[in-house]
Structure formats: structure tokens, C-alpha cells
């Protein structure tokens, strides 16, 4: 019954490969976000979206693309994965000022 | 631009100690302020908010008071427990903006 789910929960990818991280929400929220979490850097915003078929760049968009095909689904795409993209990735949806986060995806790029 | 600064990267306490985590903000307008908590292996979760000067937010024994004069929203708890060990994020949001700005987080470690 979790409102924001992410898949996969963990993934090992090879350098130069394509990676897609998926997020699904049942909150019926318009806003969705992708964050990256690294030790010592807190949460950094990669991309966000406030309506289906539209995405916006956050603070660190380089190397990432986003796709919002429907209100419920929001994907993060790494076309050419690099070692520096090893991190934990969180998706969130938002109502008012309250954000609801998913459980995270741990991505390791080798 | 808008930003949030948390002074402490890590705080180590013993059970029943008093907790203070400092949070200062910079914003062009009149933001709402928040605290989020992240337990190991989970995503961050909303703790509480305050929307106007002198308003106190609270939850689970934690509290913070919005202070526009000192641009602060410090998190306090009178007596911490080992189960409070987590990362705490201060954040702000403005109606004119589509996003919420998070601080870098403070790791709280409480020893039994």
C-alpha cells in the first residue's frame, strides 16, 4: 500500500550502459521529483515534473534524462552510465509543501 | 537564491540528552519551513512544518520555532532515545517555486 514505489531497489550497471530507474505513485499528485543522495551531499535534485509529458531540469541534470508518460509514472534514464553516477536515487511526489519519498534505488556502476 | 544551511554534519549524544540541530535559511520571499527525517534504508519522511513567524511545529517530541528575525528553524528535543538515530533534513519551500530546498542533513547518533 506504499504510495511511492521504485524499481529496481538495487542495480549493478556497467560503465557506458543504459540504465532506467522507474517510479510509480498512487497519491494522485501532480509534482514528482528525482533526487540523488551521496554521503556528505544530502539530497540533490536531478529532474522534476509538474505535469505528464513535461519535465524540468534540477540542479544536477547533466548525464540524466527524465520521462513522465503519465501522472503516476516518472522515469530517470542514464543513457551512458558512468562511475560517478554510483549513488542512491530517490523519487518523490508532492502535495502542497509535503513531499512523499520512495524507498530508494541503490545504483552501482562498475 | 533560496538555500538552507545546517551547521552540524553529525551529532553524537547519549540517551536522555537534549538535542539541538541548527538550521538557518536564505529566501527571497516568506517561505514555509520543514523538518524531514530519514531512517537507515528508507526514504526521507516529513516530520513537521511551520509557515509563519513565531509558529512552532512539532511531532514525536521534536519541535522547532520559525524565527524570521534570525532566519532560523532549529530542531530540538528534550530527551533523545536510541531510536531517534537518523539523518535530519531542514528544508524550505515557497509558493512561487515548484521545488523544495533541502539542507545537507545532520546525522544523529544516539548511544544507549
What is the tens place of the pLDDT at every residue in B11-38? 999 999 999 999 999 998 889 999 999 9
Those residues with Cβ within 8 angstroms of residue B63's Cβ, 6 or more apart along the chain or in another chain: B48, B56, B57, B75, B76, B77
The answer to whether A48 contacts chain B (CB < 8 Å) is: yes
| CA B20 vs CA B33, B77, B78, B90, B100: distances in Å | 16, 7, 9, 12, 23
Please write the tens of the pLDDT for every residue from B81-108.
999 999 999 999 987 777 889 999 999 9
A-chain CB neighbours of B33 within 8 Å are none
- Whether the bond into A8 is cis, omega within 30 of 0: yes
Confidence of residue A1 (pLDDT cuts 50, 70, 90): low
Residue A18 pLDDT more than 70? yes
pLDDT of residue A2: 61
Those residues with Cβ within 8 angstroms of residue A37's Cβ, 6 or more apart along the chain or in another chain: A43, A44, A87, A88, A89, A90, A104
The answer to whether A103 contacts chain B (CB < 8 Å) is: yes
Confidence of residue A107 (pLDDT cuts 50, 70, 90): very high
User: Distance (Å, rounded) from C-alpha B56 to C-alpha A65?
Assistant: 39
Question: What is the Cα B43 distance to its own chain's centre?
Answer: 16
pLDDT of residue B91: 95
A-chain CB neighbours of B32 within 8 Å are 97
pLDDT of residue B75: 98
Amino acid at each position: 500500500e506504499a504510495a511511492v514505489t521504485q524499481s529496481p531497489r538495487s542495480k549493478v550497471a556497467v560503465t557506458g550502459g543504459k540504465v532506467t530507474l522507474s517510479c510509480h505513485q498512487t497519491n494522485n499528485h501532480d509534482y514528482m521529483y528525482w533526487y540523488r543522495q551521496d554521503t556528505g551531499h544530502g539530497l540533490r535534485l536531478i529532474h522534476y515534473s509538474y505535469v505528464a509529458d513535461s519535465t524540468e531540469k534540477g540542479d544536477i541534470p547533466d548525464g540524466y534524462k527524465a520521462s513522465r508518460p503519465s501522472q503516476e509514472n516518472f522515469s530517470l534514464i542514464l543513457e551512458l552510465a558512468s562511475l560517478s553516477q554510483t549513488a542512491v536515487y530517490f523519487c518523490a511526489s508532492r502535495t502542497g509543501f509535503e513531499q512523499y519519498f520512495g524507498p530508494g534505488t541503490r545504483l552501482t556502476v562498475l | 537564491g533560496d538555500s538552507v544551511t545546517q551547521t552540524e554534519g553529525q551529532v553524537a549524544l547519549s540517551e536522555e540528552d537534549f538535542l539541538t540541530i541548527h538550521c538557518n535559511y536564505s529566501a527571497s520571499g516568506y517561505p514555509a519551513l520543514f523538518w524531514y527525517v530519514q531512517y537507515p534504508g528508507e526514504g526521507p519522511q516529513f516530520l513537521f512544518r511551520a509557515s509563519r513567524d513565531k509558529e512552532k511545529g512539532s511531532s514525536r517530541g521534536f519541535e522547532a520555532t520559525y524565527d524570521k528575525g534570525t532566519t532560523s528553524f532549529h530542531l530540538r528535543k528534550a530527551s533523545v532515545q536510541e531510536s531517534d538515530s537518523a539523518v535530519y533534513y531542514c528544508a524550505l519551500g515557497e509558493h512561487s517555486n515548484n521545488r523544495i530546498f533541502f539542507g545537507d542533513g545532520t546525522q544523529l547518533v544516539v548511544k544507549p
